[in-house]
Amino acid sequence: MQVGLGKTVTFHYRLYDEAGTLIDASAENDPMSFVFGEGSIIPGLEREMEGMEPGESKEVLVKPEDAYGLRDPGLVHNVPRERFEGSADLEVGMTYMGRTDSGGLINFKILSMDEDNVEIDLNHPLAGVNLRFEVTIQDVT
């Protein structure tokens, strides 16, 4: 059976950035599953899997526009340092989880900081990155 609309697809993957660094991979005994067409994986990968069959492997190149989007400079903010009082020690380059003023959860990366401000980046860590997937279809139901 081929990968197509409404089908449950089980697959293994390895994800690399444009420098060839392995970013993520499915565990040997724990493939990923999704329903094709529901938008639960990045669009560029889903589109390239259409028509594949169990046992088939493919290398898929995905541009940022079809993955996590381009980097948005509007998602970089300076936040007063006192907003982080009582938090664990902050470190430039580290990613943290915080709460918005309305109580929602956000992930952010610290780009820089001084005694008054912390510059944070709310972009997805893979925004603006060309991605390369190696996928193998395990099952289609």
pLDDT in tens, 17-61: 999 999 999 998 999 999 999 999 999 999 999 999 999 999 999
Give the span between the Cα atoms of 73 and 65, in whole angstroms. Answer: 15
| pLDDT confidence bin for 140, thresholds 50/70/90 | very high
Residue 120 has pLDDT above 70, yes or no: yes
Distance CA(53)–CA(82), nearest Å, equals: 54
Check whether residue 132 and residue 65 sit in a common domain: yes
Q: What is the pLDDT of residue 128?
A: 96
- Looking at residue 87, its pLDDT comes to 64
CA distance 134 to 32: 13
Q: What are phi and psi of 64, to 5 degrees?
A: -55, -40
**Shared domain check, 80 and 61:** no
Q: Are residues 21 and 65 in the same domain?
A: yes
Q: Supply φ then ψ for residue 85, to 5 degrees.
A: -60, 140
pLDDT of the residue at 88: 62
pLDDT (mean) for 116-131: 95
Determine the Cα–Cα distance for residues 96 and 140; give it in Å rounded to an integer: 37
What's the CATH number where 135 sits? 3.10.50.40
Other CB atoms closer than 10 Å to residue 102's CB: what's the count? 5
Nearest CA among 27, 22, 60, 57 for reference residue 41: 60
What pLDDT was estimated at residue 41?
97
Residue 16: give the domain boundaries.
8-69+127-140
Q: What is the pLDDT of residues 79-109, one digit of tens each?
A: 999 888 776 688 899 998 888 788 889 899 9
- Domain presence at residue 1: no
60: region left, alpha or beta (phi > 0 left; psi from -120 to 50 alpha): beta
- In this prediction, residues 115-133 reach a mean pLDDT of 95
Contact between 138 and 10 under an 8 Å Cβ cutoff? The reply is: yes
Residue 41, Ramachandran bin (φ over 0: left; ψ between -120 and 50: alpha; else beta) = beta
The answer to whether residues 42 and 80 belong to one domain is no
Residue 131: band (very low, low, confident or very high) from pLDDT cuts 50, 70, 90: very high
How many residues would you count in the chain?
A: 141
User: What does the pLDDT read at residue 126?
Assistant: 94
In a domain, 48, yes or no: yes
CATH code (residue 110): 2.40.10.330
* Claim to verify: residue 14 and residue 51 sit in the same structural domain: yes
Identify the pLDDT of residue 49: 98
Residue 3 within any structural domain of the chain:
no
* Assigned domain for 106 exists: yes
In a domain, 96, yes or no: yes
